[in-house]
């Protein structure tokens, strides 16, 4: 079969890769049901964020007379509230196959296309996996396709008796609720973190002790850990008095939103509705614990605890609490593993995250707000930001992970890439500063890549 007309290519591709058999054509009406809301009968103790219930403010209406870094109260009253999930209606139409054809969209599903995607998935456990290429091969549906494949190869669909219709619906919600306009915090980042998490879950030291529930939670948390990220950081939400900052009392604001949004989608899709209520609620809570651990402001808290466990040699992975802690550490590593990738991939991620920083800085300048650290494109270069990020955040955590794995081949490869990438950025920074008129003032420490102008506190409050 050389070509099949498939307006909803990602549905057929992921189903094909799941069954690993000749293309299985299933009527679209059987794949996705009509859009529904959260059933009140399924509501548990945990308050979930209903999709679209927490809108983002429209920054275009902010005026430039903000004082002391906060938006004036008069302006706040005039701020137009936009749906946090502005693509919700579009996503619903997409899931029903009602989105009109747009130029450039892919409609032909042929053997070569399927073969390349399937070939990449056969190597999904390798560290040089190119998520950007995979996203192109899956027509922008890398997260859905990857998760379906991993749930299959890990035996999670069979173990938890998951309904494939509900699984596709849930994953479709998650993927659509990432903001594709974000340079960094988008569905491709989620897929990249998920692939890294899968690699870490396969580490011999960890894999032999993990239960199916541990693997399920680890992959789910990785896929949804940044869902509906607005492309700005917590301090920005606080100083603009965003309602999410008020809702979560200025503590782990984004991470709490990611978690509650995930719970809302789990309940709306009914993915876990066949499980006992106590079990599904416990899974929701554990997902929250994992996602909240990605709050970068808690980096030192987790790092010190991890280091103490390794120093005391008291990690017992037969204990559920210790396995959960290691899932938190693994997710934290996966979330910031970009500098540990090969240079070609690492550089792309570095440029993307800095572009997102700079966009926030431009917004802050536009509305006369104080520009946040790392967000001034004129003052904060990509090499300087990356050197500081590696030195203060990435290296300390991955050095302890390296100890934990004793060390594994994967860990050795990651540390090798990390050191090479840091050297690359140091060279680029040296070249960049020497081309500036102030090059003569650079110290020898800066030439070696020591991020003297940046401090660890900047990174702990920015990311």
Q: Which residues are annotated as a binding site for Zn(2+)?
A: 189, 225-226, 335
Query: CA separation (Å) from 231 to 35, 56, 157, 357?
Result: 27, 11, 33, 8
CA–CA distance, 32 with 39 (Å, rounded to integer) = 17
Residue pair 268/37 in contact (Cβ under 8 Å)? The answer is yes
DSSP 340: G
Residue 185 bears catalytic tag: yes
Our CA angle for 443, 388, 423, nearest 5°, is 70
For residue 48, how far is the Cα from the chain centroid? 20
Residues annotated within the binding site for AMP are: 185-189, 226, 335, 386
Burial 361-391, CB ≥16 within 10 A → b, else e: bebbeebebebbbbbebeebbbbbbbbbbbb
CA–CA distance, 282 with 70 (Å, rounded to integer) = 38
Our CA angle for 123, 146, 151, nearest 5°, is 95
CA–CA distance, 149 with 146 (Å, rounded to integer) = 5
CA–CA distance, 92 with 101 (Å, rounded to integer) = 16
Residues annotated within the binding site are: 185-189, 225-226, 335, 386
Residue 418 DSSP SS3:
helix
Per the residue annotation, which of 185, 242, 417, 424 is the catalytic one?
185
List the catalytic residues: 185
């Amino acid at each position: 079969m050389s070509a099949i007309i498939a307006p909803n290519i990602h549905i057929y591709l992921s189903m094909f890769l799941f069954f690993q058999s000749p293309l299985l054509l299933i009527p679209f009406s059987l794949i996705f049901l009509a859009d529904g809301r959260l059933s009140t009968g399924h509501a548990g103790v945990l308050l979930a964020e209903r999709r679209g219930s927490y809108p983002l403010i429209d920054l275009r209406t902010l005026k430039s007379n903000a004082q002391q870094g906060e938006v004036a109260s008069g302006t706040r009253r005039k701020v137009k509230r936009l749906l946090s999930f502005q693509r919700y209606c579009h996503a619903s139409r997409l899931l029903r196959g009602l989105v009109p054809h747009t130029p450039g969209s892919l409609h032909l599903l042929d053997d070569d296309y399927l073969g390349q995607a399937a070939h990449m998935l056969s190597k999904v456990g390798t560290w040089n996996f190119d998520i950007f290429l995979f996203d192109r091969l899956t027509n922008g549906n890398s997260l859905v396709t990857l998760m379906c494949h991993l749930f299959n190869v890990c035996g999670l669909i069979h173990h938890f008796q998951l309904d494939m219709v509900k699984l596709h619906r849930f994953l479709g919600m998650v993927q659509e609720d990432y903001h594709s306009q974000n340079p960094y915090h988008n569905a491709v980042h989620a897929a990249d973190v998920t692939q890294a998490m899968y690699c870490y879950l396969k580490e011999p030291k960890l894999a032999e002790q993990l239960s199916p529930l541990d693997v399920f939670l680890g992959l789910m948390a990785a896929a949804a850990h940044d869902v509906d990220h607005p492309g700005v950081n917590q301090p920005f939400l606080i100083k603009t008095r965003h309602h999410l900052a008020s809702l979560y009392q200025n503590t782990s604001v984004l991470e709490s939103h990611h978690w509650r949004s995930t719970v809302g989608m789990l309940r709306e899709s009914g993915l876990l509705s066949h499980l006992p209520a106590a079990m599904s609620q416990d899974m929701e809570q554990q997902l929250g614990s994992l996602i909240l651990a990605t709050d970068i402001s808690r980096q030192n808290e987790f790092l010190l605890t991890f280091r103490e466990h390794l120093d005391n040699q008291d990690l017992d992975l037969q204990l559920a609490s210790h396995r959960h802690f290691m899932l938190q550490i693994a997710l934290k590593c996966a979330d910031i593993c970009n500098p540990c990738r090969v240079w070609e991939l690492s550089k792309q991620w570095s440029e993307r995250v800095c572009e997102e920083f700079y966009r926030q800085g431009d917004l802050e300048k536009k509305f006369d707000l104080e520009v946040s650290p790392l967000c001034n494109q004129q003052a904060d270069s990509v090499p300087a930001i990356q050197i500081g990020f590696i030195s203060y955040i990435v290296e300390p955590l991955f050095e302890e992970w390296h100890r934990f794995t004793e060390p594994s081949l994967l860990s050795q490869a990651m540390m090798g890439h990390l050191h090479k990438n840091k050297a690359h950025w140091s060279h680029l920074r040296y070249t960049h500063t020497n081309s500036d008129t102030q090059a003569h003032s650079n110290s020898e420490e800066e030439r070696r890549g020591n991020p003297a102008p940046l401090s660890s506190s900047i990174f702990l409050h920015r990311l």
